Structure 1
Amino acid sequence: MPNPNAKPKHCRRPRRRHRGDPARNELVASSLESAQQCLFTQDYGTAFVHYLLVLNLAPMFKDFARESFRFTLFKWAEELESVGRLQELFDCYEQALELFPADEVILNSMGEHLFRMGFRDEAAGHFHKALKIKPDYAEARENFYRVANWLVERWHFLMLNDHRRNLKYQQAIQKAVKSGCTTVLDIGTGTGILGMCAKKAGAAEVYACELSKTMYELACEVLNANGMQSDIKILHMKSLEMEVPKDIPYRVSLVVTETVDAGLFGEGIIESLIHAWHHLLLPPQRDEKDSEGQSSTGRVIPAGATVFGMAVKCPEIRRHHRLCVTEVGGLSMAAAGELHSPVSCSSESNESVEPYTTERLSRLPGGYTALTEPFTALNIDFNNVQELEGLSSREVQEIRLPVTQEGELDALAVWFQLHLDEENTLSTGPQEDTCWEQAIYPVHSKTGFILKPQDELVVEVSCRDAYLRLRSLAVLRDGHEIPFEKREDEDPHDSRNPAPNPEAELCSALACLQTDQSQTTHFCVLECSEMALLNNQDYHLSFSRAIAKLVSQLNIKCQNQERECGPGADADVSNLLYMLDVSEGFSLLSLIAASKGHVKAFSSVEKSKQQEVLKRLACARNIPEQHLEFWLNNLEDEQGMLKRPSREKLWSAIILDCVETCGLIRQKLMEKASLARCLLEDGGRIFPEKIVVQGCLVESDTLLLESAVQGSEPTLGFNIAPFINQFTVPVHVFLDFSTLECKHLSDSVELFVLDLMNSNANYTNRDVKVQATSAGRITAIPFWYHIYLDQEISVSTFSPNSHWKQAAVVLQQPLMVQAGDWVCLAVRLHKSTISVSAHIENPSEQME
């Protein structure tokens, strides 16, 4: 350490701080001039290098050059990303942040690149840093909310608000530690709560691991706030990568974990526990203690689980997993082939297919009907390593279930009871008030299958790849077995089955002639939301009517022009109407447009199997092949999403996909609408032309529990809420408002209007007054959309058969209202993101 009282020594070193360096100054000046010249010629890569040199040699230019440097960085980063030079892109951002470590704009921009490339953890860190520097930075806040929904899922809040679950885990851990398990490893620690429970119970040493960078950093903050940073060693890694003594000094006597999903094994608990038993845990022997009373054997909490299931009828599940209609928007679906969701346990399933999805049965619109009594599908002992290792090779089990209720078989629903120890258990059943959903194994039977009392349902249970897999195999009726996957063997006169459709069979046979003769059926997988969209008849019929009206109007206009100017030599070509569908995913709207005659439709469908479905349907409808084009197949520049169909033509109609399935407006919708308007022919139209946002006031404890850790009391005595609540998002998505537990405090009102055809009619802020119809606490403002295809035809995202969900703004502080009170809502639209704030109108405002 230098001595501040020492006299300076005389030496021959030049005093550079008092003398300029002419050569350096000249280099800085010439580099700055070169950077500006390169910007002028759009040579952003060279300009960036010059700016780096200038700002490293002459930091005093940072304030002067900041805006130009940012612009150069962002333009160069766009070029690097477009050609896939990702490592160079991130190197540039790292160099920029070395110069400007507290620049919120650069941090936010790097976060956006990271998020687009799937690095959500890292993206969240950059958005978070940007917000700490500038809390009112709107772009960073919206980006942070978007990534927070991915990283800290809503069940984290539900778990921490689940007092019963927390207490059961705490009691089991206390009991184990008191019995001598004093060295503990918490696998998948999350907020660190289970590890802290072990330390509080008296464990001598506690270790924890967490794979998510976001949750790891959150757990570190929680440990520091609770004074346990030196008591618990937390590692940012998978437990499968941990070794003794590299990561922990020796084997532990207790592993605690809650790495279970709705299907029990989906988060990899089997693999992690097998590894733990072999490498991290003391051997699973009989309960013995050493001379100091510590356990010399290992054990796991939870100790095991029992899995239950039942067959259910549920229209909501049905319409998300298989085609339930024979006609879509006037198009017969007979030639479509077999369509179903990617959730399947069939014998042909592959890695791209999920064995189950998850739902909260108690909240499904229309409810569900149990067709069998609950049955035990599986028992598993997490303290028996041989049983864990043999799970994947277990003999496939067939279970016969007596049918107790008549109804169409739509799925097998599964839940489990988690045995923490001999005394403490947790159930994830559909009747329980729990933070878990249930696992759903849908049935893909093409025509549906009606079960009747006296039938027996044959179910197959297996654990291939350490996933729990359940499959409906067959029905036993009157001594006969009717298999689900071989429906062609069934009696055609069976009253359970609809009469065969000769037209459908003929279309399918003709379609098969054009393909490999070895294939007996066409098979195509659609996302669950895409299946629900296909089954949304109101949506497609509304579009069909609106497109037909527009085609009729434009044909009349064209005929009038021909009468005035005389028919051209190529009238048949010039009279074609060009329609572009830029819907996300699978869409039939282009085909519906092409079916109207004199229309050339451009489809946004990208996947080859899905394109084949549209081609078969077009062929069955006698739509000329040249009237349906998949424009993304030939599009090299992805940025040129909306282009003219040719030099001579403009679009007659552009169909925009405006609302995400989750209930939010699609990002950059207004920018796309602005571009689309410039590409329309005279009389052309954007579909939809207008979106009206509707909403109301509600009181909902459910939404509060899913949005943040509630109450002022610490969770099990630990200070966790302030840290996890940093990831609270103001807008909740994927809501079923029709089944949401809430009290309505007002009628629905118009919150906002987005006019896609008239930019002059749009605004960014709107104040709305809503009168309370009941007394209560306003905790949220659910919202949905009326989507106007034209002035007369509309569809709602809140209709019973909608494929869309709803969203809700959750207020940070609930508002108490009395019936008759007026509530002022400030509604804001920023880059297609809707935000709402609320306050009670005071007397002076009422007078105004």
Structure 2
Amino acid sequence: MPNATTRPKRTRRHRRTQREDAARNELVSRSLESAQQCLFSQDYGTAFVHYLLALNLAPALRDFANESFRFTLFKWADELDSIGRIQDLFDCYEQAMELFPVDEVIVNSMGEHLFRMGFRDEAAGHFYKALKLRPDFPEAKENFYRVANWLVERWHFLMLNDHGRNHKYQLAIKKAVEGGCSSVLDIGTGTGILGMCAKMAGAAEVYACELSKTMYELACEVLSANGMADSIKIVHLKSLDMEIPKDIPNRVSLVVTETVDAGLFGEGIIESLIHAWKHLLLPPPNFREPLSSPSQTGRVIPAGATVFGVAVQCHEIRRHHRLCVSSLGGLDLSVVGQIYSPVSCFADTEDSTEPYTTERLSRLRGGYIQLTQPFTALDIDFNNVQELEGLCSREVMQMRLCVTREGILDALAVWFQLHLDQDNHLSTGPQEDTCWEQAIYPVQTVFNTVKCGDEILVEVSCKDSYLRLCCIAIVRDGHTFQMDNATKGPSKILNANPESELCSALAGLQTTQEKPPRAFMLESSEIALLNNTAYHNSFQKAMSKLLVSLKSTRRSQESDTELDPIYVLDVSEGFSVLSLMAAQLDSDSSEDKQNGSRLVQAYSSVEKEHHQAMLRVLAKENGVLESALKFWLSQVEDDSAVLQRPSIEKLWSAIILDCIETCGLIRQKLLEKATLARCLLEDGGQIFPERIVIHGMLVESDTLLLESAVQGTEPTLGFNIAPFINQFTVPVHMFLDLSTLECTHLSEPVELFALDLMNNTANYTDKEVKVQVSTSGKVTAIPFWYQIHLDSEQSVSTFSEDSHWKQAAVVLQQPLAVSRGEWVRLSIRLHKSSISITAVKQE
């Protein structure tokens, strides 16, 4: 009987299961015990393996062992990170997330490792996931806000709020579809808006591709919400990797795209369109080979573009790309030769960085002056595949720009007009009300003063698919002044007289040649820091005061003739001359010069070799002994020990902390670093700065609203997009220049918060401030900046004219209508380094 034969089998199976459970329980128990023993002996790798085994065998124990497992994972991950076993580190996190798929702490921690290693988009995705798992998780919230620009870049909001741009694209797409373009591919779809325009216009087949995982997932949500998930096929691919029929069944008749940046070609539109014409698009109308269906031709929106440019004088651009001071805080900077930024328009540069930076000219502090009339630099037809293929091999075009106004040649500013079709055009010009910035090609040579009547020789090329505009010479009174690359030496004067050229050539044959001038590359933010004389001069005064105090104390306490060294540590981010300034102050002491005593032992934490080389040159040429300056990170085992003691028995006399990021935010883990620094200071020692005061004000700014979220209640072009992309709204905006921000000041500046780095007991985490309204309006944001107090007498503001720092602002979720004379209560909270502010009217 079937039942009779099955019963004994079930019984036997049940008995085996019981024995297996006993063995499994024994193995789980021993693994957990071994994990605890390994933790006790700090063998985190073996402990991690034991936990994996135990929790995979006994899933019911996961909640019980969660905290210990996390601790083990984080410790083991730090060890793997320190010895460079990156793949093993990520493997461990993958295993951990299989065990704990909804553990927001583990997900957030993996994001932090990804971010430190440069995987910003992936890191931002993990922070966002952790925040979705637990919306009130402060660590994930702070991390997410800092990297949200990499997850969904802010220009997505600006473009979706640019009604003129959206409408013109919609008109061009509608016209093309009604003209016979029945199959459409949207390259770099973003939110999917252009593909949806094509479908709404009546296209039979619509496809889209998106490389960013986050934007791909966002576009899928948007398509579903608008009922187009089944009618628009979207693939998570770069268009260059798309194939027929694998990804789309046939060639399409229309490609729509907006993969252009401020420099037009920087997002790879040339390469993607060449590939599209060869593999994804129907042939263009002028294609000569016989076609099976001659009536079927392809086209691209936009159809083409015209690039314009103008030579400008602009102090704000200059101070970020060229050293404007010869001395700083007692140091002679001219001895290092030329200092230049990595933004190079020369096609043969060794750097892989873009040849331009971007700025919104209308918002630059101090404005700009046009030194020439605008000129046309380039025309490009996106519907001519031969022209696209020949763009990079075009001969370099040389243009002569007539100078119409005397000034300093700081840059070429470039914008373009995008020709969507014959009737619809978009301009990114500086005078336009547009979401676009302009491309800036800085001039970094020493010779750059121009007069009316001069001519600027400009070379235009696209050698490596970047649009490059390079000022190569200035012509004045028949003489040509060459403007060579910063790394190639000083400018040469080429006389128009052949005899003079011959004499110069013969003179160059002398056997005693001068050494080639030195040149050092710094980031533009580091150059702006060096140009911040107020900050360095204030530091010089504060450090000098401390050194006098410490030397006086030593002489009164020590009877020996040789005094103990004064140890100074500079842990600034990036390039910094502050440690060298401290050593220089010791060298300049007249009293020490008389007795030959050199007390200051300065340590710098700069890591890059060219930074160290530059400091060595500065030290040598400014009379600082080589032994007085050391590079600290080469003497410690890892970055986490950067604040350790200079020697077992000694403490630091001064520790210089880099407290504010260039973007306008407090550096992460600042208070933790300050707490550790205080423990490593000798009596009478000092942390620089000793105190930071945060100031802010109430403003009304439509600009900040447009950059923070899709505004209004009406759907964008009839599509429901805002609720999905607005999930990525962040309340804190960075890199603001409050002096040029379009806004109305609704109050006077007030003190919002204070951080005492020398006295932790004086700090707090929450504070309420009452602010009186001086002008009626709607409070949309609270911009903030810092007064950095180096000591009780010296301070600098991050809102000053020569500040290398930008400002930041908290944008309110709901604008607050206020009237003059009313009071607004601000509740400020500082969690680690993240500031949050809420505002309510005071009854």
Matches within 5 A, 1:5-44: 10=7, 12-13=9-10, 14-15=13-14, 19=18, 21-44=21-44
* Residue-by-residue CA offset, 1:89-111 (whole Å, 9 max, x unaligned): 22222222222222222222222
Q: Which residue does 1:561 correspond to in 2?
A: 557
The structural deviation recorded for 1:350 is: 1.9
Contact kept, 8 Å, 2:124 with 2:150, in 1: the verdict is no
Tell me the SS of whatever aligns to 1:466.
coil
Distance 2:813 2:734 in 1: 16
The structural deviation recorded for 1:608 is: 1.9
**Equivalent position to 2:581, from 567, 581, 592:** 592
Q: Which amino acid aligns with 2:223?
A: L
Q: Which residue does 1:267 correspond to in 2?
A: 267
* Residue-by-residue CA offset, 1:331-368 (whole Å, 9 max, x unaligned): 11121111011111236522344311100000000000
Contact kept, 8 Å, 2:480 with 2:493, in 1: the verdict is no
Q: Which amino acid aligns with 2:571?
A: V
Contact kept, 8 Å, 2:603 with 2:632, in 1: the verdict is yes
The structural deviation recorded for 1:128 is: 2.4
Distance 1:348 1:196 in 2: 42
Matches within 5 A, 1:311-460: 311-346=311-346, 349-446=349-446, 448-460=447-459
Matches within 5 A, 1:570-581: 571=562, 574-581=563-570
Identify if the C-alpha distance between structure 1 residues 541 and 291 changes in structure 2 by more than 3 Å, giving closer, same or farther: closer
Q: Which residue does 2:506 correspond to in 1?
A: none
Matches within 5 A, 1:204-215: 204-215=204-215
Distance 2:513 2:160 in 1: 57
Q: Which amino acid aligns with 2:9?
A: R
Q: Which residue does 1:823 correspond to in 2?
A: 824
The structural deviation recorded for 1:452 is: 1.6
Q: Which residue does 1:606 correspond to in 2?
A: 607
Tell me the SS of whatever aligns to 1:475.
strand
* Residue-by-residue CA offset, 1:277-325 (whole Å, 9 max, x unaligned): 111100112499x999996011000000000000000000000000111
The structural deviation recorded for 1:127 is: 2.2
Aligned residues: 805
Tell me the SS of whatever aligns to 2:796.
strand
Identify if the C-alpha distance between structure 1 residues 205 and 295 changes in structure 2 by more than 3 Å, giving closer, same or farther: farther
Tell me the SS of whatever aligns to 1:465.
coil
The structural deviation recorded for 1:429 is: 0.2
Stretch moving more, 299-308 or 349-358: 349-358
* Residue-by-residue CA offset, 1:765-821 (whole Å, 9 max, x unaligned): 111111111111000000000000001100110000100000000000000111111
Stretch moving more, 220-229 or 64-73: 64-73
Q: Which residue does 2:477 correspond to in 1?
A: 478
Q: Which amino acid aligns with 2:772?
A: Q
Distance 1:201 1:801 in 2: 52
Length-normalised TM-score, structure 1:
0.92
Contact kept, 8 Å, 1:653 with 1:687, in 2: the verdict is yes
The structural deviation recorded for 1:138 is: 1.3
Tell me the SS of whatever aligns to 1:827.
strand
Q: Which amino acid aligns with 2:242?
A: M
Q: Which residue does 1:533 correspond to in 2?
A: 529
Q: Which amino acid aligns with 2:620?
A: C
Distance 2:528 2:299 in 1: 45
Tell me the SS of whatever aligns to 2:296.
coil
Identify if the C-alpha distance between structure 1 residues 287 and 749 changes in structure 2 by more than 3 Å, giving closer, same or farther: same
Q: Which residue does 1:805 correspond to in 2?
A: 806
Contact kept, 8 Å, 2:107 with 2:126, in 1: the verdict is yes
Contact kept, 8 Å, 1:36 with 1:47, in 2: the verdict is yes
Identify if the C-alpha distance between structure 1 residues 702 and 24 changes in structure 2 by more than 3 Å, giving closer, same or farther: same
Gaps of 5+ in 1: 1-5, 493-515, 843-848
Contact kept, 8 Å, 2:342 with 2:351, in 1: the verdict is no
* Residue-by-residue CA offset, 1:614-656 (whole Å, 9 max, x unaligned): 2122112211110011112333322101121122321110100
Q: Which residue does 2:79 correspond to in 1?
A: 79
Identify if the C-alpha distance between structure 1 residues 439 and 296 changes in structure 2 by more than 3 Å, giving closer, same or farther: same
* Residue-by-residue CA offset, 1:235-280 (whole Å, 9 max, x unaligned): 1111111111111111111110000000000000000000111111
Contact kept, 8 Å, 1:28 with 1:53, in 2: the verdict is yes
Q: Which residue does 1:620 correspond to in 2?
A: 621
Q: Which residue does 1:499 correspond to in 2?
A: none
Q: Which residue does 2:713 correspond to in 1?
A: 712
Distance 2:534 2:360 in 1: 26
Q: Which residue does 1:498 correspond to in 2?
A: none
Tell me the SS of whatever aligns to 2:46.
helix
* Residue-by-residue CA offset, 1:539-558 (whole Å, 9 max, x unaligned): 11001111111111111111
* Residue-by-residue CA offset, 1:429-465 (whole Å, 9 max, x unaligned): 000111110000111122x522221222111111110
Q: Which amino acid aligns with 1:613?
A: M
Identify if the C-alpha distance between structure 1 residues 390 and 559 changes in structure 2 by more than 3 Å, giving closer, same or farther: same
The structural deviation recorded for 1:581 is: 0.5
The structural deviation recorded for 1:205 is: 0.6
Stretch moving more, 386-395 or 139-148: 139-148
Q: Which residue does 2:784 correspond to in 1?
A: 783
Q: Which residue does 1:734 correspond to in 2?
A: 735
Identify if the C-alpha distance between structure 1 residues 25 and 481 changes in structure 2 by more than 3 Å, giving closer, same or farther: closer
Identify if the C-alpha distance between structure 1 residues 367 and 696 changes in structure 2 by more than 3 Å, giving closer, same or farther: same
Distance 2:243 2:347 in 1: 38
* Residue-by-residue CA offset, 1:84-142 (whole Å, 9 max, x unaligned): 22222222222222222222222222222222222233323322222222211111122
Distance 1:140 1:528 in 2: 30
Distance 1:787 1:295 in 2: 70
Q: Which residue does 1:509 correspond to in 2?
A: none
Identify if the C-alpha distance between structure 1 residues 166 and 67 changes in structure 2 by more than 3 Å, giving closer, same or farther: same
Identify if the C-alpha distance between structure 1 residues 642 and 372 changes in structure 2 by more than 3 Å, giving closer, same or farther: same
Q: Which residue does 1:545 correspond to in 2?
A: 541
Identify if the C-alpha distance between structure 1 residues 464 and 8 changes in structure 2 by more than 3 Å, giving closer, same or farther: farther
Q: Which residue does 1:144 correspond to in 2?
A: 144
Matches within 5 A, 1:662-811: 662-811=663-812
Distance 2:421 2:573 in 1: 48
* Residue-by-residue CA offset, 1:207-243 (whole Å, 9 max, x unaligned): 1111111111111111111111111111111111111
Identify if the C-alpha distance between structure 1 residues 463 and 8 changes in structure 2 by more than 3 Å, giving closer, same or farther: farther
Q: Which residue does 1:653 correspond to in 2?
A: 654
The structural deviation recorded for 1:79 is: 1.5
* Residue-by-residue CA offset, 1:660-716 (whole Å, 9 max, x unaligned): 000000000111111111111111100000000000000000000000000011100
Instruction: Determine what percentage of the aligned residue pairs are the same residue.
Output: 70
Q: Which residue does 2:191 correspond to in 1?
A: 191
The structural deviation recorded for 1:9 is: 6.0
Matches within 5 A, 1:282-301: 282-286=282-286, 296-301=296-301
Contact kept, 8 Å, 1:662 with 1:804, in 2: the verdict is yes
Q: Which residue does 1:846 correspond to in 2?
A: none
Identify if the C-alpha distance between structure 1 residues 94 and 11 changes in structure 2 by more than 3 Å, giving closer, same or farther: farther
